[in-house]
Amino acid sequence: MGLCESHDGVGGQGGAASLTMPEGLRNYLLITGGYWAFTLTDGAIRMLVVLYFHQLGYSPFEVAMLFLFYELFGIVTNLVGGWLGARIGLNLTMHIGMGLQVVALVMLTVPEAWLSVAYVMLAQALSGIAKDLNKMSAKAGVKILVPKESESRLFKWIALLTGSKNTLKGVGFFLGAILLEFVGFRNALLILAGGLLLVLIITAILLPSGLGKSQSKPKFTQLLSNTPAINWLSAARFFLFGARDIWFVVGLPVFLFSVLGWRFSEVGAFLALWVIVYGIIQSCTPMILRGHHPNETTAKVWAFGLMLIPAAIALALQQGMEPNRVIIVGLIVFGAVFAINSAVHSYLIVAWSEHDKVSMNVGFYYMANAGGRLTGTVLSGWIYQTQGLVGCLWWSAGFVLMAGLLSLRLKNSLAGEL
């Protein structure tokens, strides 16, 4: 029996290629539904923690520190999670992620006196592990469900999964704020935990066992990718997401509040709406690209196009143009082009991975993604403090330039197999 075969025609790594379309679509919808439910809780818990602990008197630095382990553990989880998914199956790693998120939510329902910085950081660490296990499992699972020759369908399904996730994360921001206002912090957490637990049970019953499980047990020493295309794409992804977070995470919201005089509610609503629209554009990327599945040239062109946008925003601010208009228009354009870049990358990492290595490659790739987010988050605070928002924007342009230069090395070594 080959590596891409399974005993039952459903559970193995390559068994999905023999699935009928209705069954493949059913499993895709189950994976997507589970990912949606998780993403809602992920966005909601972020907003709950920020608002609630701000109300408790935590300083902005202390609130930011609460999410340090969330990002840091994402790097390790993506690397190890891909290896784990190949050994035990993607459906199991997805459900482990859901279970850890339920635990993280329940942990925060303890009495207020227990909610020290260290305790909340631990809960957020579990949430970060859960998020990246769930994301890796969902995106790698789509590759398993789509037949090898259906690259256009794969592009559409990956774009929809990725875009809908970001849209729902923005919805989760609103959900967390609404629940906090009407039912309180602990009741909100219990509602979210109960809903996610229900989804976990349903998907665990309905999804086929062994989805994405490799017939050959990969060794722990095989965690790092030895495929040049995967390595270059992962390096480009690091700088792409670092470029976003360098100005988006700390610099932009602080600038909107302290310099432009926006209220907290206006800042939160604007950023949440941006995430929602960003997700919608990701989902629509196949239509924007007119149904053609991307290749290495697509990644190069869109990366260099994105580089011009933060540079243009920085120049406009330096020239004294009206900052509200510059920021709003500039952020919309940046978000649209960034969304297309992200959707192209998300497709390429899945399309370029061999079926038997997809979970490990996706895990390695999103480790780079998490590293870029962490680096961008840390730099965002330091650069804004020392160089202001204009400095953040120039650094962002520099990071996108690095992503574009790294993309020049992209070459799909699996092109003959697709």
CATH of the domain at 25: 1.20.1250.20
Tokens 């966005």 identify what position? 43
What is the mean pLDDT of the segment spanning 266-295? 81
Residue 83 lies in a domain: yes
CA distance linking residue 60 with residue 101, whole number of Å: 24
Three-state DSSP state, 100: helix
Question: Considering the domain boundaries, does residue 309 fall inside one?
Answer: yes
Confidence of residue 371 (pLDDT cuts 50, 70, 90): confident
Name the residue range of residue 391's domain.
15-417
The two three-digit tokens of residue 101, written as one number: 């998120």
DSSP-assigned states of every residue in 65-95:
HTTHHHHHHHHHHHHHHHHHHHHH-HHHHHH
| Percentage of residues in the chain having pLDDT higher than 70 | 77
Q: Which amino acid is at 252?
A: L
> Which tokens belong to 257?
């509040």
Weakest-pLDDT range from 33-47, 204-218, 227-241: 204-218
**Inside any domain, residue 165:** yes
Please compute the mean of the pLDDT values over residues 203-220 and round it to a whole number.
64
6 domain-assigned:
no
pLDDT in tens, 180-192: 878 889 999 999 9
β-partners of residue 282 are none
Dihedral of the alpha carbons of 176, 182, 184, 189, in degrees to the nearest 10: -40
pLDDT range class, residue 225, cuts 50, 70, 90: low
What letter represents residue 140's amino acid?
Answer: A
Answer whether residue 8 is part of any domain: no
SS3 for 190-223 is: HHHHHHHHHHHHHHHHHCCCCCCECCCCCCHHHC
For the four alpha carbons of 218, 220, 225 and 226, in that order, the dihedral sign comes to: negative
Predicted confidence at residue 413, as pLDDT, reads 44
Q: Measured between alpha carbons, how far apart are the two ends of the chain, in Å?
A: 22
- Of the listed ranges 15-24, 265-274, 304-313, the least confidently predicted one is 15-24
User: Cα separations (Å) of 352 from 154, 263, 359, 415, 416?
Assistant: 11, 45, 12, 8, 11
143-176 pLDDT, tens digit each: 666 665 566 666 777 777 777 777 888 888 778 8
Tokens of 246: 């360098």
How does pLDDT run across 331-353, given as a tens digit for each residue? 999 999 999 998 898 888 877 77
Can you state the angle between helices 323-351 and 296-318, rounded to 10 degrees?
A: 170
> Which pair of tokens denotes residue 11?
């559970």
The three-state secondary structure class of 12 is strand
Q: Is residue 233 part of a domain?
A: yes
Over residues 289-303, the mean pLDDT reads 84
Place of tokens 């996108």: 400
Length of the chain: 418
Residue 13: its pLDDT value, please? 38
pLDDT in the model for residue 322: 93
Q: What does the DSSP 8-state code read for residue 292?
A: P
| pLDDT at residue 308, as a whole number | 96
**Mapping DSSP to helix (H, G, I), strand (E, B) and coil, where does residue 150 land?**
coil
The closest alpha carbon to 97, from 128, 60, 57, 76, belongs to 128
- Please tell me the distance from the alpha carbon of residue 42 to that of residue 22, in angstroms, as a whole number: 30
CB 335 within 8 A of CB 281: yes
Rounded to 5 degrees, φ, ψ at 213 are -75, 125
Residue type, 274: W
**Structure confidence by residue, pLDDT tens digits, 102-154:** 999 999 999 988 888 889 889 989 998 898 888 777 766 666 666 655 666 66
In percent, the amount of the chain with pLDDT more than 90 equals 24
Q: Which two tokens stand for residue 149?
A: 């020759």
Burial, 96: exposed, middle or buried (Cβ in 10 Å; 0-12, 13-18, 19+)? buried
The total number of structural domains in the chain stands at 1
Strand partners, 12: 213
- Among the residues of 108-207, which ranges form H helices? 117-145, 151-183, 185-206
Task: Work out the pLDDT band at 415, boundaries 50, 70, 90.
Answer: very low
The amino acid at residue 387 is Q
pLDDT at 201 over 90: yes
Q: Is the pLDDT of residue 16 over 50?
A: no
